[in-house]
Amino acid sequence: MLIESLDHKGRGISRVNGKIIFIENALPGEDVDISVIKDKKKYSEAIVKNFNEKINDRENVKCPYYYKCGGCQIMHMKHDQQLSFKQNKISNIIEKYFDKKTHINPIVYGNQYNYRNKLRLQVKDKVGLYEKETNKIVDIDSCLICNSLINDKINKLKKLNLKYIKDITMRVGDNQSIVLLNSSKDVDTECINNDFDNIIVKSNKTIIKKGSSYIKIKLNNVVFQVSIESFFQVNYDIMIKMYDYVKSQLSGNNKVLDLYCGIGSISLYIKDVVSKVFGVEINKQAIIDANINKELNNCQNVSFRCSDTKDIIINDYYDTIIVDPPRAGLNKQIINELLKSDSKQIIYVSCDPLTMVRDINLLKNKYDLISITPFDMFPNTYHVECVCVLKLR
């Protein structure tokens, strides 16, 4: 069976009697025999049983867990193939929704490996990551896409008494890391040992901690303090490139509304190039972190509010509104507020291009999509981050 193209998840596409088949780990131009794992009326999903012909420039996969683990999906592509897959994915999505030619900038990229600053491990009979599409666990000793400080900890963690631990989260800052053990029963103090400078063991009732409960990271001249559970981008290098791009779209007299602001990452990063920023975020701990970060950076022109964007009424005028929602995209209420706002510019930062185009389509009676820039925030996975610039017509 010949592979024709790739779907948006990086799976090979082929057809039998007009019915579409999505095949994991198969690349355009390859000839494969398959085993069907899901058969639906309109499509099937399959895995490769045998390669009759492989293309020459397949990546030699270095991760021993890749074909089982659900973490990465496109590690079998060379890095430049991954980048063109993501670039094409965005062009295809944009072409479906928008008549006018939208300018799609070349994807911004960095290192293919060791980029992740955060990892969550599942703990059952094994310690590792979920298998593809199951809740079974692949036992791992290291993860090729994670920072070495995270990898140094995995084997040390496995030596602890993890009897009641459900999952483990690790996050890395400037030469420092922090570990959170999530426990189903009261805290097991044996878990706290000298291998870890900063460790928290948390159950429903108690929290035991040694060292700090947050990491510090300096990105250019802005310092961030991040609690282990708050949202923060997982790839520092691409995060800086993306925030620099957002910054380049603003000017000195801009008054900015930063919706879905997390711990104030974008608000604080842009503080020197705008007159004022107001950040809104639903998570209480993130807003506590955001206000600490404001103090740490001695910042007078930034303020934050803890609120659901559903409840926000945009009464004041903002030159630019930045939105950076989770995968689900924007809610209806905030879309209506954006349409009433008369802001000159909206910058939409997104980790899901499908919900992003859905939302931009709802804004198109008033806002033109001027440009879109993809960022390779998550190499070896099919995910891609985008920044869209929209202008008031």
- List of residues contacting ligand SAM (CB under 6 A): 231-233, 260-262, 265-266, 280-283, 286, 308-310, 324-326, 351
Q: Which is nearer to ligand SAM, 27 or 349 (CB)?
A: 349
Q: Which is nearer to ligand SAM, 66 or 375 (CB)?
A: 375
Q: Closer CB to ligand SAM, residue 214 or residue 231? A: 231
Min separation Cβ 356 and ligand SAM, Å: 12
Least distance between ligand SAM and beta carbon 304 (Å): 11
Determine the residue with CB nearest ligand SAM. Answer: 262
Q: Rounded to an integer, what is the distance from CA 209 to the centroid of its chain? A: 28
114 vs 285, which CB is nearer to ligand SAM? 285
CB of 322 to ligand SAM, least distance (A): 8
Nearer to ligand SAM, 123 or 377 (CB): 377
CB of 385 to ligand SAM, least distance (A): 9
- Cβ(376)–Cβ(86) below 8 Å: yes
- Smallest distance, ligand SAM to C-beta of residue 38, A: 30
Closer by beta carbon to ligand SAM, 196 or else 304:
304
Comparison of 323 and 363: residue with beta carbon closer to ligand SAM: 323
Least separation, in Å, of the C-beta of 308 and ligand SAM? Answer: 4
Q: Least distance (Å) from ligand SAM to the CB of residue 334?
A: 8
Tokens of 131: 């298998």
Residue number with CB closer to ligand SAM (82 or 309): 309
Task: Give the shortest CB-291-to-ligand SAM separation in angstroms.
Answer: 14
- What is the identity of the amino acid at 206? T
- SS3 letters across the chain: CECCEECCCCCEEEEECCEEEEECCCCCCCEEEEEEEEECCCEEEEEEEEEEECCCCECCCCCCCCCCECCCCCCCECHHHHHHHHHHHHHHHHHHHCCCCCEECCCECCCCCCCECEEEEEECCCEEEEECCCCCEEECCCCCCECHHHHHHHHHHHCCCCCCEEEEEEEECCCCEEEEEEECCCCCHHHCCCCCCCEEEECCCCEEEECCCEEEEEECCEEEEEECCCCCCCEHHHHHHHHHHHHHCCCCCCEEEEECCCCCHHHHHCHHHCCEEEEEECCHHHHHHHHHHHHHCCCCCEEEEECCHHHCCCCCCCCEEEECCCCCCCCHHHHHHHHHHCCCEEEEEECCHHHHHHHHHHHCCCEEEEEEEEECCCCCCCCCEEEEEEEEC
CB of 177 to ligand SAM, least distance (A): 19
Q: Which run of H or E residues covers position 239? A: helix 236-248
Smaller CB separation from ligand SAM, 71 or 325? 325
